[in-house]
């Protein structure tokens, strides 16, 4: 029987909040970071084991917080080793998480929304429409509940992370803080179509990597597939990127989904090279994955290679990226949850004690 969430999840609490909790309850003599290190970094949900806290404080914390996380409803495995999980948010909306092992790195690809309101034409999540923002608890549950170790986190699952900026910002804080998961910011990438002014806040307030979904150097064509181009034009996104400090291994990636006979011609590569050659960027050329119901097609491998060489001629570093998890719809642009959760899934317990 699922226990109701009657009190606050500890997952999602930061040091500032916890200091306030200790102060209000009269426990300011004790160090709140002990609890966070124990719970986040040491992955230990047993508050009773923090022996440096008196029994009264431990009892108070156990009444105030639960240490559960959301559990996935379903998991799938790809033949290439990629795994994907379906979660249900506290208010019943679906979202997905992928885990991609690759030699020495294991990457968790997480969602920040159920669905998305940006409606990019090539993206399955966009076709789903917007359902809800995820909370910090729901976003971090994806990292801790899949039972996999990870070295990297990418915000490339369902949703536009900058459209849920406060949640993104706190999640980044907890992932990187010494009292949190202590992950290096250079091992975290936030991918966005470019939401302004949130992009500037991300660039200035955090030091994680940034990936911009670019997909065409021509405003009119980009607006055809990324409707937000009209509100947040690429030229303004580039001006914002020019202000952001990319230092000490912090990486700027420009993602270019290459689609046959749409954006894979010499003139696209040349215009792109001219537009961004002054940026400290790495270009990821991602051959489009055919998605049933979408009008776009995968490019010819030789066209992808020609595209890369034109970018190189502008002095730019460009890589053709292999897609992973295509057979389980975990590849780029394919995450869409299951639009309608079955009665059985809707009633499945989702909390772990």
Integer Cα distance of 50 and 315 in angstroms: 55
Q: Tell me the window of 29-37, 60-68, 79-87, 116-124 that interacts with ligand SF4 (CB under 6 A).
A: 116-124
Site for ligand SF4 in 192-221 (CB under 6 A): 193, 213
Q: Tell me the window of 120-128, 176-184, 255-263, 280-288 that interacts with ligand SF4 (CB under 6 A).
A: 120-128
For 106-138, give one letter per residue: b (16+ CB within 10 A) or e. ebbbbbbbbbbebbbebbbbbbbebbbbbbbbb
126 makes contact with ligand SF4 (CB under 6 A): yes
Among 32, 72, 159, 299, binds ligand SF4 (CB under 6 A): 159
And the tokens for 228?
């937000």
CB of 159 to ligand SF4, least distance (A): 6
3-state helix, strand, coil in the chain (%, to 5): 35, 20, 45
Q: Tell me the window of 39-47, 48-56, 118-126, 295-303 that interacts with ligand SF4 (CB under 6 A).
A: 118-126
Q: Are 53 and 59 in contact (CB under 8 A)?
A: no
128 makes contact with ligand SF4 (CB under 6 A): no
Cα-based distances in Å from 320 to 28, 92, 109, 131, 234: 54, 38, 19, 33, 22
Pairing state between β 281-287 and 317-320: parallel
Interface mask (CB under 6 A) for ligand SF4, residues 76-115, using x and -? ----------------------------------------
CB of 333 to ligand SF4, least distance (A): 6
264 makes contact with ligand SF4 (CB under 6 A): no
Beta carbon nearer to ligand SF4, 77 or 169:
169
Size of the site for ligand SF4 (CB under 6 A): 11
List residues with catalytic annotation: 96, 332
Integer Cα distance of 115 and 131 in angstroms: 5
Beta carbon nearer to ligand SF4, 57 or 190:
190
For 316-331, give one letter per residue: b (16+ CB within 10 A) or e. bebebbebbbbebbbb
136 makes contact with ligand SF4 (CB under 6 A): no
Cα-based distances in Å from 233 to 200, 229, 268, 283, 286: 14, 5, 17, 19, 22
CB of 253 to ligand SF4, least distance (A): 15
Beta carbon nearer to ligand SF4, 94 or 159:
159
168 makes contact with ligand SF4 (CB under 6 A): no
Q: Are 318 and 281 in contact (CB under 8 A)?
A: no
Which residues contact ligand SF4 (rule: CB under 6 A)?
Answer: 116, 118-120, 123, 125-126, 159-160, 193, 213
């Amino acid at each position: 029987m699922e226990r109701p969430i009657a009190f606050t999840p500890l997952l999602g609490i930061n040091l500032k909040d916890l200091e306030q909790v200790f102060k209000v309850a009269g426990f300011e003599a004790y160090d709140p970071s002990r609890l966070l290190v124990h719970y986040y970094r040491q992955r230990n949900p047993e508050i009773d084991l923090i022996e440096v806290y008196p029994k009264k404080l431990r009892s108070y914390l156990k009444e105030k917080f639960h240490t559960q996380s959301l559990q996935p409803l379903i998991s799938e495995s790809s033949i290439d080793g990629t795994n994907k999980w379906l979660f249900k948010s506290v208010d019943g909306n679906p979202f997905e998480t992928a885990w991609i092992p690759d030699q020495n790195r294991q990457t968790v690809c997480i969602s920040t929304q159920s669905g998305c309101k940006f409606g990019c034409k090539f993206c399955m999540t966009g076709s789903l429409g917007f359902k809800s923002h995820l909370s910090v608890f729901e976003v971090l549950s994806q990292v801790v509940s899949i039972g996999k170790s990870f070295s990297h986190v990418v915000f490339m699952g369902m949703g536009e992370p900058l459209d849920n900026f406060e949640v993104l910002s706190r999640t980044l804080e907890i992932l990187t803080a010494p009292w949190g998961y202590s992950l290096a910011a250079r091992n975290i990438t936030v991918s966005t179509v470019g939401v302004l002014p949130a992009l500037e806040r991300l660039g200035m307030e955090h030091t994680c990597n940034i990936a911009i979904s670019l997909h065409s150097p021509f405003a009119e064509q980009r607006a055809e597939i990324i409707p937000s181009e009209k509100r947040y034009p690429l030229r303004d996104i580039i001006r914002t990127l020019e202000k952001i400090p990319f230092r000490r291994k912090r990486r700027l990636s420009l993602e270019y989904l290459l689609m046959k006979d749409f954006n894979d011609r010499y003139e696209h590569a040349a215009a792109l090279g001219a537009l961004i050659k002054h940026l400290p960027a790495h270009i990821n050329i991602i051959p489009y994955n055919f998605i049933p119901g979408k009008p776009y097609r995968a490019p010819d491998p030789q066209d992808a290679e020609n595209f890369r060489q034109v970018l190189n001629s502008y002095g730019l570093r460009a890589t053709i990226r292999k897609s992973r998890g295509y057979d389980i719809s975990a590849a780029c642009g394919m995450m869409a949850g299951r639009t309608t959760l079955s009665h059985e899934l809707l009633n499945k317990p989702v909390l772990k004690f």
